[in-house]
Amino acid sequence: MEPSDEVLCRRVAGGEEAAFDLLVTRYQKRACRLAWNVLRDAEEARDASQEAFVRLYRAAGQFGGRAKFSTWFYRVLVNVCLEHRRKHRWWRHIFTSAAADASAASDDHEGSSVERHPSPAVDVLGVIGREQTLTRVQAAMDRLSPQQRAALTLQLDDVPTAEIAEALRCSEATVRVHLHRALTTLRKIAENA
């Protein structure tokens, strides 16, 4: 029988690295997805989720067990994401975009992407359709506040409303308002598309 997250956290507090590795394995994908939904930048999301795991390792002894481990960890992660948003304001993206444009221009001299990759063995039109739909959903999610994106992402991961409230440090009613506003915004965008 697999040990619970709470037991693993106590083991991490005792210095057991294998327990930490198991927690990382269990939560890494969800942490990256939640961080990306709050920060909307893959590199920053990876940094934030990694920082949250570092904080988990250092502060595992502070986990009191009053809430589920997942709630406690999501609260740490959301706080790290909000700190990242404060530290890395909009101007950082201007410099990153300029560097990416320069890099893309230099890549053009190394041959086209068609020459570097074999032909796909999948339904290209189906993939393009799914990618376009995903792009529209991501663009719509960009219009949501970070709290709305976090609440919606956790809800989609089947996290109970009470745990989302603890993770976001707000009431359950506020979580329901965040979810309602997020879904209302997404519906309006979908109707206008």
**168-186 average pLDDT score:** 92
| Residue 115 to residue 112: CA distance in whole angstroms | 5
Which residues lie closer than 8 Å to 149 by C-beta, 6 or more apart?
37, 38, 141, 182
- Encoding tokens for residue 29? 């994908």
| Residue 80 to residue 111: CA distance in whole angstroms | 40
| Residue 28 to residue 50: CA distance in whole angstroms | 9
Q: In percent, how much of the chain has pLDDT > 90?
A: 42
Q: Where are the alpha helices (DSSP H) in 60-160?
A: 69-87, 90-107, 113-116, 124-142, 146-156
Q: Which domains does the chain have, with CATH numbers?
A: 5-88+124-192 (1.10.1740.10)
Angle among Cα 140, 153, 55 to the nearest 5 degrees reads 125
Statement: residue 171 has pLDDT above 70: yes
Given CA atoms 14, 58, 48, 156 in this order, what sign does their dihedral have? Answer: positive
Statement: residue 47 has pLDDT above 90: yes
Q: Do residues 167 and 75 lie in contact, with contact meaning Cβ atoms separated by under 8 Å?
A: yes
Q: Is 191 exposed, middle or buried (0-12, 13-18, 19+ CB in 10 A)?
A: exposed
Statement: residue 10 has pLDDT above 80: yes
Place of tokens 């106590």: 10
Q: How sure is the predictor about 127, in pLDDT bands with cuts at 50, 70 and 90? A: low
